[in-house]
């Protein structure tokens, strides 16, 4: 269903039930990374998207409780969109909120586990994604070996310095394209964007995508078995075991756990009385969850709050 005021476009997208807009938006820290932003009062998620046409638009995403119909999301833009642009927005938002993803097998397994008692009722499982997999790979590399505040800052720097502007408000920008980042230099990314040693990794990634040598969007629909897909991700500079598992979660593959320092802390307090633990203990704790390992870990009701 599409409605217009004089200029604005509104699209309603339905999700496979159960669906919770709140759960997917708050599934991890991505909502704090530009060009995402959350308007707390109205619980509106905004995102600046560069369309295939080159036009930059602001998406305003809100919960659309279904009533009798299935729940979903309402998408508003300030521009009147062409049919092609509407289709693109539907496709992008559908991916970003994983509207079609089916978690029923996980919910069935989770019913036997008190620590996952909330997942079905709260429709947890979906992980917020960026519009392109390139953006999610860059953001994931920026989460490694640094504090979260630095990840937020590095991402904001990238968007501010290299993103295309929203015509109505040039201070607001979309995430930079591979072409734009490939056109800069690793030295500039290091010195001006403050990416540190990650700068050459990001630059190489952008250059390979821009040259057509690496098709990151194809990862979204890859039919490779998860271990094979993981090997492909591990070939990317700056992507190690943690980052690859995080990216697999984003791709809807949950066989691996993104083990970081937070995981050690949580598992240590959950099962080892606060004693130091390593990757083996984290793996062992969730081994029985098989293909849902990542989901069980991600949405576990930890007793330690950190």
269 interacts with DNA by CB under 7 A: no
304 interacts with DNA by CB under 7 A: no
244 interacts with DNA by CB under 7 A: yes
Q: How far apart are CA 129 and CA 265, in angstroms?
A: 26
Q: How far apart are CA 185 and CA 188, in angstroms?
A: 5
16 interacts with DNA by CB under 7 A: no
305 interacts with DNA by CB under 7 A: no
Site string for DNA, 115-154 (x = CB under 7 A): -----------------------------xxxx-xx--x-
Please report how close the Cβ of residue 247 comes to DNA at its closest, in angstroms: 9
CB 23 within 8 A of CB 124: yes
Number of H helices, E strands in the chain: 14, 8
144 is written with which tokens?
A: 């490694």
Q: Which stretch binds DNA (CB under 7 A): 32-40, 63-71, 130-138, 190-198?
A: 190-198
Please report how close the Cβ of residue 249 comes to DNA at its closest, in angstroms: 13
Q: How far apart are CA 31 and CA 202, in angstroms?
A: 21
Q: How far apart are CA 217 and CA 105, in angstroms?
A: 26
Nearer to DNA, 52 or 147 (CB): 147
Please report how close the Cβ of residue 48 comes to DNA at its closest, in angstroms: 23
By CB under 7 A, the residues from 153 to 172 that bind DNA are 153
232 interacts with DNA by CB under 7 A: no
CB 249 within 8 A of CB 101: no
Other CB atoms within 10 A of residue 70 CB: 15
Q: What is the DSSP letter of 125?
A: -
266 interacts with DNA by CB under 7 A: no
Going by C-beta distance under 8 Å and a sequence separation of 6 or more, which residues neighbour residue 117?
A: 110, 301
Q: What is the distance between the terminal CA atoms of the chain, rounded to a whole angstrom?
A: 44
Please report how close the Cβ of residue 203 comes to DNA at its closest, in angstroms: 13
236 interacts with DNA by CB under 7 A: yes
Please report how close the Cβ of residue 285 comes to DNA at its closest, in angstroms: 17
191 interacts with DNA by CB under 7 A: yes
Cα 264 from chain centroid (whole Å): 22
Sites of contact with DNA (CB under 7 A): 144-147, 149-150, 153, 190-191, 194-197, 201, 234, 236-244, 260-262
């Amino acid at each position: 269903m599409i409605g217009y005021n004089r200029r604005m476009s509104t699209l309603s997208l339905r999700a496979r039930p159960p669906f919770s807009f709140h759960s997917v938006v708050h599934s991890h820290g991505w909502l704090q990374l530009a060009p995402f932003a959350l308007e707390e009062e109205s619980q509106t998620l905004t995102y600046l998207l560069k369309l295939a046409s080159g036009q930059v638009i602001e998406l305003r995403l809100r919960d659309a409780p279904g009533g009798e119909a299935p729940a979903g999301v309402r998408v508003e833009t300030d521009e009147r969109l062409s049919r092609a642009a509407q289709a693109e927005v539907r496709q992008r938002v559908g991916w970003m909120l994983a509207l079609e993803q089916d978690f029923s097998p996980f919910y069935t397994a989770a019913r036997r586990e008190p620590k996952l008692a909330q997942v079905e009722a709260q429709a947890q499982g979906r992980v917020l994604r960026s519009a392109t997999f390139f953006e999610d790979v860059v953001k994931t590399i920026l989460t490694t070996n640094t504090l979260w505040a630095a990840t937020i800052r590095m991402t904001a720097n990238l968007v501010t310095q290299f993103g295309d502007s929203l015509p109505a408000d040039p201070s607001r920008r979309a995430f930079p394209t591979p072409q734009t980042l490939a056109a800069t230099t690793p030295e500039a990314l290091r010195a001006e964007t403050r990416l540190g040693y990650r700068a050459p990794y990001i630059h190489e990634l952008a250059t390979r995508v821009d040259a057509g040598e690496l098709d990151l969007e194809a990862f979204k629909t890859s039919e490779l078995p998860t271990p094979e897909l993981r090997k492909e991700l591990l070939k990317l500079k700056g992507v190690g075991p943690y980052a690859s598992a995080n990216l697999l979660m984003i791709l809807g593959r949950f066989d691996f756990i993104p083990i970081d320092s937070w995981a050690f802390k949580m598992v240590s307090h959950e099962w080892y009385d606060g004693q130091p633990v390593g990757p083996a203990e984290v793996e062992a704790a969730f081994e029985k969850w098989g293909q849902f390992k990542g989901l069980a870990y991600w949405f576990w009701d930890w007793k330690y709050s950190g």
